[in-house]
Amino acid sequence: METTHKELALMAQLARGLLAHGERSGMAQLGDRTRYVGMSDLGKAMRCMRAAVADKSAGSGLAPDQVAQWFAQGAEERICATLHRQLVLQRGHWLEEGVRQALLANGAPLIPQLGIEATIQHGTTEVPVRAHLDFVLLRGGERPAIRVLELKSTEHLPKTLHPAYEMQVYGQLGMLATCWGKPCVNLRDGDGTPILSGQTFPEVAQHLFGITLPASSDRVDIEGWVLCLSMAEARAFGPYRPDAAMHDLAMRLAGELWTNLQRYTNGRVSLDDLDYCHGFHPLCDWCDHYASCPKFSTRQALDPACNAALQQLDALRSQRKDLDQEIKRMEERIETHYARLSGAGDWLATGDYRCKVAPMPGRVTLNRAMLQAELANSLGQKESDRILSLCTDTGRPFTRLFFGRTPRPATPSHEERIHVAA
């Protein structure tokens, strides 16, 4: 019991520290995110305006001290869920540092965390927009080139890049190209202390590396890449190039998000007046605003995305069943083959593998009914019940997904159809 309490204390400490670190480093690198639209906000706004507005208005999110309160209340589930979420969210920053070191080791001119700030017009509203570029690689000379690298940490590598990430890259590339000769570029160190501010991109290149770049971005080979990293694999998506139409789309989305944020902050609309993503959507898995979301206040009769996910799960379960059977069949064949060989009991070398079949002791199980009867005979029913209840552990409650095919109305028989028609 004491160990569990101490384990939980450690988990709570880690969760609290991750929240505090995330809050501090986010503020140092990105500033107050409620005061501008960032390119990563666009991906969310594209999928769910409600979540994007709620995120931006909520500022830094969960306060680290909340975890201490949960610990005092013994709210283990909330602590573990927060820890899980923070580990997933912050894993990307840890990977980012590793990638930075790797790129620096190559010796190429590299700018990490380059900031570009501008104000765009959306109708009559001025919208502050910012792009934070994870990495910018530069090449000067006769054929100047810029490579913008956006890092994404994912559990499993995607086969295709999500449109929300593409929108983010197009927004970044568009801002780099349109703000090229304007004093919009800022650079901070890891603690958030400004290194350079209010410079043009060619001025930054000259200042940092002595690289002379053309006055116009049109004469520079600019590409954007998204590098997806899991803990063991990497996949690059690109190249993306500055595209005026995609940039316009990104800026229009930024304008809509900002306008909705202002209307919400001024109390002219509620969150539930804003559009949200319908159906079974991966964004909802990570959303902090699901508790009040209208999506979950009603049961949707038809949800094609959830239907597709259930179909996929159904197929995977059948594959697992087939696979289990296939494994069993193969094991039996090999065991039979092995038993027929002289010298059974030794290792059999097959080339790449070796194998042997060894006798194993049978599983030991406790016959509870018999034990109960024996205890009752020896000690009496009451004492027997007391001992059994003392030695009985109940596992934690858990959830289980039940699903099956929706029963379809039976197809009427030929006779029934004739009957109905008559």
Amino acid identity, residue 364? V
Nearer CB in complex with ligand SF4: 179/277: 277
Nearer CB in complex with ligand SF4: 184/271: 271
Surface-to-core class of residue 185, CB atoms within 10 Å of its CB (0-12 exposed, 13-18 middle, 19+ buried): buried
* Paired sense of beta strands 354-355 and 185-188, if any: unpaired
The residues with which 146 forms a beta bridge, in sequence order, are 138, 222
**Which stretch, 173-181, 242-250, 285-293, 369-377, contacts ligand SF4 (CB under 6 A)?**
285-293
Nearer CB in complex with ligand SF4: 108/305: 305
Helices within 135-276 (DSSP H only)? 163-178, 201-209, 244-265
Tell whether residue 48 is a contact of ligand SF4 (CB under 6 A): yes
Instruction: Please state the closest distance from residue 52 (CB atom) to ligand SF4, in A.
Output: 9
Token pair recorded at residue 112: 């990490």
**Which stretch, 212-220, 278-286, 301-309, 397-405, contacts ligand SF4 (CB under 6 A)?**
278-286
Nearer CB in complex with ligand SF4: 15/293: 293
CB atoms within 10 A of CB 50: 25
Q: Pick from 79, 134, 284, 384 the residue near ligand SF4 by CB under 6 A.
A: 284
Residues between 89 and 108 that touch ligand SF4 (CB under 6 A): none
Token pair recorded at residue 182: 């304007």
* Paired sense of beta strands 145-153 and 221-229, if any: parallel
- Please tell me the count of residues contacting ligand SF4 according to CB under 6 A: 13
Nearer CB in complex with ligand SF4: 24/295: 295
CB 114 within 8 A of CB 133: yes
Contact letters for ligand SF4, residues 223-262 (x by CB under 6 A): ----------------------------------------
Q: Pick from 149, 205, 257, 287 the residue near ligand SF4 by CB under 6 A.
A: 287
State how far the Cα of 315 lies from the Cα of 305, in Å rounded to an integer. 15
Tell whether residue 264 is a contact of ligand SF4 (CB under 6 A): no
Q: Pick from 51, 83, 114, 222 the residue near ligand SF4 by CB under 6 A.
A: 51
Residue 146 makes CB contacts below 8 A (sequence gap 6+) with 136, 137, 138, 139, 176, 220, 221, 222, 223
Tell whether residue 295 is a contact of ligand SF4 (CB under 6 A): yes
Residue 141 DSSP one-character state: S
Q: Pick from 211, 283, 334, 348 the residue near ligand SF4 by CB under 6 A.
A: 283
Phi and psi torsions of 311, nearest 5°: -60, -45
State how far the Cα of 327 lies from the Cα of 242, in Å rounded to an integer. 51
Nearer CB in complex with ligand SF4: 201/276: 276
Q: What residue ranges bind ligand SF4 (CB under 6 A)?
A: 48, 50-51, 276-277, 281, 283-284, 287, 289-290, 293, 295
